[in-house]
C-alpha cells in the first residue's frame, strides 16, 4: 500500500514525518531505523530532537543504520554523512553507540567484502523496520544513480555529474568525491516500511515520475512502486506535478484532519488510532 500525505508547507511536512518516526519508536523501542542524509531530512531530525527534549522520546534502544556514505572522506570531515548524522541528530539524543551502524567510507577491507558484511549485519539485526528516504533531482535513492539495477545490492557507486554538481554547493573548498557506498535498491526495499520525504518545487517533476510514471531503472526512485508499504510526505510544491493530486489531498485530509491512519514499524495500515497527537 502507498500512502501519500500532502502538507501546505515544508515545515509541516517535516513535522508530520518526524511524528511518524517518533510514533514508530514509541511503539517499538528497539526500532531498527534507517537514516538518510541530505538537506531534506534535516527538518525531520530537528523535530525528533525537539520531541526528545519535550516528550522524552527515548532513543536508548533504537538501532540505527545509514543509507550511504562518501568513499574516501574521513568520518570527521564536515561533508561526511557520519558527521551529518551526529550534527543533526545523534549529538542531541540518548542513542547507544553500540546500536549505531553507519556505513564507513574508509573501510579497511575491500569494498565488496565490506558491502556484503554490512548487509549481513542488517540481516543479523533482524532487518530494517523503517527506512527514511529522500529523492535526488535525477531520481536517485541513496546513491543509486539512473541506470542502477532495480534489484541492486549494497555496493560502490559512481556519482553522476548532476549529483556532483548539486553537492558542490555544500562542499565548499573540499572536492566532491567520485564514489560513494550505498545500499542498493533491492536492499532498500527489504525494509518493512519506507518513508520518503520530498519538499520544494524543484522536486515536483521527479516526484511525479517516481510515483506515477513507469517503473524504470533510469528513475531509481520509481522502485518504491514495488514496495508493499510506502509513506510519501510531500509539501504542496513537491506534489505540484502529480496527476492524481486531488485524490492524494483527499487521502491527506482523512489522515491529518479525521485521524484515521497510523504507521506501524512493520506495516502501514488503516486503523482508528490516527497520527500521534502534537506534543
Report the catalytic residues.
68, 138, 140, 145
Quick check: 45 and 33 in contact, CB under 8 A?
A: no
Could you tell me how many residues make up the chain? 279
Residue with cell 492524481: 244
Residue with cell 502507498: 2
What b/e sequence results for 197-222 when a residue is b if at least 16 CB atoms lie within 10 Å of its CB, and e otherwise? bbbbeebbebbbbbbebeebbebbbb
- Going across the sheet that includes 32-35, the strands are 2-7, 230-235, 193-198, 130-133, 32-35, 63-66, 100-101
Name the phi and psi angles at 32, rounded to 5: -95, 105
Quick check: 3 and 230 in contact, CB under 8 A?
A: yes
Which residues sit opposite 262 in a β-bridge? 269
Tell me the Ramachandran region of residue 201: left when phi exceeds 0, alpha when psi lies from -120 to 50, beta otherwise. Answer: alpha
Quick check: 80 and 70 in contact, CB under 8 A?
A: yes
CA 37/CA 144 separation, integer angstroms:
14
State the cell numbers at 265.
Answer: 514499524
Amino acid at each position: 500500500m502507498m500512502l501519500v500525505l500532502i502538507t501546505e508547507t515544508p515545515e509541516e511536512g517535516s513535522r508530520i514525518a518526524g511524528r511518524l518516526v517518533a510514533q514508530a519508536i514509541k511503539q517499538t523501542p528497539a526500532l531498527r531505523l534507517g537514516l538518510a542524509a541530505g538537506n531534506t531530512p534535516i527538518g525531520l531530525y530537528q523535530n525528533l530532537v525537539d520531541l526528545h527534549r519535550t516528550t522524552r522520546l527515548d532513543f536508548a534502544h533504537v538501532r540505527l543504520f545509514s543509507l550511504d556514505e562518501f568513499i574516501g572522506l574521513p568520518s570527521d570531515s564536515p561533508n561526511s554523512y557520519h558527521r551529518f548524522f551526529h550534527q543533526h541528530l545523534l549529538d542531541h539524543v540518548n542513542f547507544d553507540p553500540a546500536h549505531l551502524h553507519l556505513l564507513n567510507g574508509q573501510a579497511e577491507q575491500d569494498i565488496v567484502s565490506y558491502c556484503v558484511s554490512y548487509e549481513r549485519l542488517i540481516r543479523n539485526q533482524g532487518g530494517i523496520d523503517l527506512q527514511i528516504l529522500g529523492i535526488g533531482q535525477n531520481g536517485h535513492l541513496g546513491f543509486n544513480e539512473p541506470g542502477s539495477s532495480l534489484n541492486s545490492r549494497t555496493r560502490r557507486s559512481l556519482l553522476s555529474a548532476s549529483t556532483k554538481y548539486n553537492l558542490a554547493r555544500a562542499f565548499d573548498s573540499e572536492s566532491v568525491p567520485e564514489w560513494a557506498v550505498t545500499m542498493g535498491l533491492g536492499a532498500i526495499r527489504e525494509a518493512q516500511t519506507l518513508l520518503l520525504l520530498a519538499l520544494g518545487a524543484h522536486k515536483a517533476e521527479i516526484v511525479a515520475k517516481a510515483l506515477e510514471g513507469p517503473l524504470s531503472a533510469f528513475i531509481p526512485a520509481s522502485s518504491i512502486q514495488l514496495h508493499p508499504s510506502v509513506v510519501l510526505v510531500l509539501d504542496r510544491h513537491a506534489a505540484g506535478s502529480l496527476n492524481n493530486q486531488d485524490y492524494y489531498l483527499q487521502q491527506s485530509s482523512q489522515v491529518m484532519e479525521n485521524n484515521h491512519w497510523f504507521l506501524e514499524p512493520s506495516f502501514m495500515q488503516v486503523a482508528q488510532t490516527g497520527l500521534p497527537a502534537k506534543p
